[in-house]
Structure 1
C-alpha cells in the first residue's frame, strides 16, 4: 500500500493511493497514519478494504508528511562511503546517530524556508524507515519485522549551523520544514529489499545526487538493531538512513541553495518530492505559525 496524509498543514486526513493513483480518504476508517495505524494487524485490516469504495480526496490536494504524530525522528550520518569521502570525513566504524526535531517534518512539496542568517542551505535525499512495532534490543536478523514501511526524506541541512556552531548537529538539521517526508509511506511488503532502493535529487533541473542503498555502510536491518540497543524504538518513529554523494557541501567550491531554487528528489519505489526555496517572512510565516499554536484564551 501507499499511505498518505492530505489536507491543510495541521489538519491532515489519512489516505491511501488506489490502483489508478487516486488519493482515497481513509478518515472514516482510521484516525491518522500514525502509531495507531502502523501495526501489522492494523495494516492487514487496511489491505482488506476495497479502496474504490472510499471517497476520493479533492484533486490537487496538498500532501502532508506521510506519518503523523512522529514520536522521534532519528538520523544516521555519513552512511555512504562516497559521501564521507566528498566531505573529507573518515568512514565511521559505527553508525553516527543524531536527531532532527519532529517540528522539521513537512509535506513532500512544501516550500523550504531560507531562515534568517542562513547562508549554507543544503539538500540530502535519503531512504527513511518507519517503525511499526516496538523495537528494543532486537537482533539484526529480526529487525526488519519491526518496520512498517519506507518513504523518502530530504534531510535538509544548514551547514553553518551544523558544522560551524558549537554543540551537536541538531541545530543545523531541525529548522521548521527541514524534513519533508513522502509523498507516501510504502508499506514494507512492497519494498522487496531495502538495500536495493534507488535515490536521486536534482536542483533546478540539474542532477546532483544519484545513488542506491546497496552502497550504504550500515544497512537498514543493522541500523534498526543498533539503535534498539540505545533507545526503545516506538511505532511511528522515523529513521533517516543517510545520503549518497552529491550534496552541496561536497562540491568544489560548495554549492548551496538560494531563494527561488527548485529541488526535486525521488525513487522509482518511493515516488517524488518537489520543493521551492523561499525566504522567511515573519509576518507571513512566523506570526501565523505562532497564532495557530497559541492557546485561545
Structure 2
C-alpha cells in the first residue's frame, strides 16, 4: 500500500474501501473481507446509513484503531454551527471511535461556511484528524477559504480517466490549495464498459499482465489520487489492491491523459430535493 502526506503531516492510504450503497448487513459481511485483503482506509458517510455497521466491523476485525484510516461525511442538514458539533459527536458514537481520520462536508449546500468553524473545532478537540470537502465547485471552495483557519486537507470529487480533474486541481492550487489531496469517487467511471474497453487500457493490460481496471487504478495512484473502489467480490477486492508491482511510463500516462474528457455527473448549483429532507441518522441497524 502507498500513502500520501496530508497538509497536517499525517498519512492517508491511496487505495481505500468504499461502502457507498451497502446495507449494514453487506458492510458487516464484506468490510472484514476487505480488511483481510489489506485495505486500511475505509470511506463511509452519515448519509450512507451504515456507520454503525462500519464500527462493528472495525471492532470485530481486531485491527488496532491507529492502523486504520476512517473517513466519514456530514450531509448539509448537519452544517449549521450548533448542529454540526452535535452531529460530529453522533457520527463518532455510531462508528464507536473517539476520532475519525478525515471528516468531509458531503455536498455543497446549506450553511457550509458557518459549519466550517465546527469542523475546525473538531480538529482542535482531536475528534477529526483532518477535514475536507466533497463535491464542492471552485467558487464554493473559495467561500470556505475566505473564513478558514484550517484549510481543507482533502477535496473529494468525481475522478476517472474520462474526467481527470486537471483543470480543477490547477484552479485550486492557484487559490492556495496546492497541497490538498484529491480523492476520486467512482474511479472506474461508473462501471462504463466503454472506458475499460479503450484501446490504451487493453494494450497496457496485456503488456503488464493486468486487467484494464487495474491499469486505470494504477493511473490514479500515479496521478496522486486517493481512490476507494466498492466491491462485494473478494476476488475483485484482491485485484483492485494488486496494483503496486508495476508502474506506467510517462508516455503511457500521457496517452491516458489525452483521452477525451466528459463528466458523468454534474453537481447541481441548487440542492436536489433529497438533500433538503432532514434524516434521522441514528436509526441504523
Question: Which TM-score band (shorter chain)?
Answer: under 0.3
TM-score normalised over the length of structure 2 = 0.25
Structure whose residues are more often strand by fraction:
1
Structure whose residues are more often helix by fraction:
2
